[in-house]
Amino acid sequence: MASLIERFGRGLGGLIMLIVALWLLGLVLAPNLMMLDFSFRPNLMPSQVGTSADRYTIANFVALFSDPVHRAIFFKTVWASALVTATTLVATYPLAYWLAKRASPTGVALALVALIIPFWINEVLRTLAWYILLAFNGPLNAVLIATGIIAEPVRWFGDFGVLAGMVYAYILFMLFPIYNSISTLETAQIEAARNLGASTIRIHRRIVIPHAKAGIATGCVFTFMLAAGSYVAPALLGSPGSRWFTEIIYNWFFEGGNWNRGAAYALVLLVLCMMVVMAALRLFRVNLADVAK
């Protein structure tokens, strides 16, 4: 803060700080506090607002856990997000290692271009591409039938569609932190381990993964948060059986007209995400500062 004043002077430095403060207070803190306030109030007719009926209650939270469908969708969202995270990690780690340690400079450039260019298109359209690929009469089924792998077209929408769409959508958020952390590993360490007789699996388990731990944790945290808060992929690629918790929240706000309950549901999701992040960091023995790097 002092350095800001020093660099820009009292006037401009003060202005920058004021803008940042307004941004934090008005656009981050205030909406969340309003959500918090909403979530603890009952859903009332406008005429009842401010009357004796308008008092704090935990009814909205109780409703979530007493409704078996909502409860089930909530827990499914949690473990399905964990599954998305795990699948993305498994799919991404070999690629990150190859990019960081094995690929030629040309290979790295080509692979990064191929990975990044699709992300110039917005998320909805990218998901729509998967919608087309996975359609009942779409190209994936056509190819699988033509090659004789399946006899009848498969309904991919649902759990599989959501998983595929999300893994694809978040792959870069997993890839880059891991790629960066593996890049900083001295190649001679891998050679030394191989020279001492270590198998590929052991080299990864004992040398590469411990070194890349912070990057892996960062990627997992990003991916989990994004997956748990995802709306587009489940909405487009899901089926009634694969509803996501965000869809329920959306419904409370925009279909059910019950903002209070929607706010309570959103708050529960937020708290859950934070708990998962903290648990993951503790599990990986990484602290928040490492992740922020």
Partner 1 sequence: MSHSVELAGIEMIFGAVRAVERFSATVEGGEFFSILGPSGCGKTTVLRLVAGFIQPTSGRIVIGGKDVTEQGPHQRPTSMIFQSLALFPLMPVWENIAFGLEVRGVSKAQRRRRADELLELIALPGFGDRMVHELSGGQKQRVAIARALAVDPEVLLLDEPLSALDLKLRQHMRAELRALQKRTGVTFIYITHDQSEALAMSDRVAVMNAGKLQQIATPRELYANPATSFVARFVGETNEFAGRVRDVANGLAAVETRHGMLRGRAGPGVKSGVEAALYVRPEAVSLSVGAPGNRIAALADRLEFEGAVAMLHARTNDGAPVLAAIANRRLDEAPLSGGPIQLSFAPAEALVLAHG
Positions touching partner 1 (CB under 8 A) are 186, 188-189, 191-199, 202, 206-207, 210-211
Quick one: 48 or 187, whose CB is closer to partner 1? 187
CB of 188 to partner 1, least distance (A): 4
To partner 1, the closest distance from the beta carbon of 189 in angstroms equals 5
147 vs 195, beta carbon nearer partner 1: 195
- State the minimum distance, in angstroms, from the CB of residue 72 to partner 1: 42
Nearer to partner 1, 107 or 210 (CB): 210
Q: Which is nearer to partner 1, 206 or 282 (CB)?
A: 206
The amino acid at residue 282 is R
The secondary structure of the chain, three-state, reads CHHHHHHHHHHHHHHHHHHHHHHHHHHHHHHHHHHHHHHCCCCCCHHHCCCCCCCCCCHHHHHHHHCHHHHHHHHHHHHHHHHHHHHHHHHHHHHHHHHHHHCCHHHHHHHHHHHHHHHHCCHHHHHHHHHHHCCCCCHHHHHHHHCCCCCCCCCCCCHHHHHHHHHHHHHHHHHHHHHHHHHCCCHHHHHHHHHCCCCHHHHHHHHHHHHCHHHHHHHHHHHHHHHHCCCHHHHHHCCHHHCCHHHHHHHHHHHCCCHHHHHHHHHHHHHHHHHHHHHHHHHHCCCHHHHHC
Which residue's CB is nearer to partner 1, number 193 or number 268? 193
Closest separation in Å from C-beta 205 to partner 1 = 11
User: What is the smallest separation between the CB atom of 213 and partner 1, expressed in angstroms?
Assistant: 9
Shortest Å, Cβ 199 to partner 1? 7
Residue 149 or 188 having the CB closest to partner 1: 188
